[in-house]
């Protein structure tokens, strides 16, 4: 089927830093989604350095203690408060991670390439799910990719089907014709 042709070959991915273990991204519910090795994200481990302003000191041992005691927080983290006050603390974050370790949430974490250089990759949503995946010793995690999407090749070793970026294989061929990936400037997804 034509929609299944790669618009980025393994050779082109190698130019951008990809390797032979390419990740396939697809559109799912209007998101660009795929499963990637956690180490390719190049993000800090939330069990070693907390990404939450109200959760400093979260550890693997604290999460395991919460699991062992049956202290599982089912409520999603409400996010940041403009007042700076939070009902959450280190223990509650550990309990949330414990819950997600025991009750796997298959929703993708939301990652975004936030600058044109591709140097900055951030998690918009999913730090607790990432920590739970690490607790389960998983090597891969499902991601939804946003921002400067073209960097997914370089940073994640990803391939994307033609319709994923440009809507059709024909549009992809027209766009890529005569433009080697190593000299193409990235553009924001949808931009």
State the CB neighbour count (10 A cutoff) for residue 111.
25
What is the C-alpha R_g of the chain? 19
Q: Is 90 exceeded by the pLDDT of residue 179?
A: no
How big is the CA angle at 144 (ends 146 and 141), to the nearest 5 degrees? 135
Question: Which of 4, 38, 5, 8 minimizes the C-alpha distance to 22?
Answer: 8
Count how many Cα atoms sit within 13 Å of the Cα of residue 141 in the half-sphere of its side chain. 31
Asked if the model's pLDDT at residue 163 lies above 80, the reply is no
Residue 149 has pLDDT above 70, yes or no: no
Judge if pTM exceeds 0.95: no
Distances, alpha carbon 146 to alpha carbons 30, 40, 122, in Å: 11, 16, 10
């Amino acid at each position: 089927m034509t929609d299944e042709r790669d618009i980025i070959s393994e050779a082109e991915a190698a130019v951008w830093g990809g390797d032979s273990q390419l990740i396939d991204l697809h559109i799912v519910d209007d998101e660009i989604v795929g499963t990637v090795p956690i180490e390719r994200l190049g993000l800090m481990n939330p069990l070693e350095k907390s990404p939450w302003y109200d959760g400093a000191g979260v550890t693997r041992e604290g999460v395991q203690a919460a699991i062992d005691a049956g202290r599982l927080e089912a409520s999603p983290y409400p996010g940041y408060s403009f007042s700076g006050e939070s009902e959450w603390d280190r223990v509650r974050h550990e309990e949330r991670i414990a819950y997600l370790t025991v009750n796997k949430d298959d929703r993708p974490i939301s990652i975004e390439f936030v600058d044109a250089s591709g140097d900055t990759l951030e998690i918009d949503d999913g730090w607790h799910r990432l920590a739970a995946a690490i607790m389960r010793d998983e090597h891969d995690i499902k991601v939804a990719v946003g921002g400067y999407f073209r960097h997914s090749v370089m940073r994640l070793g990803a391939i994307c089907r033609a319709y994923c970026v440009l809507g059709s294989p024909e549009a992809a061929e027209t766009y890529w014709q005569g433009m080697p990936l190593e000299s193409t400037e990235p553009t924001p997804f949808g931009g």
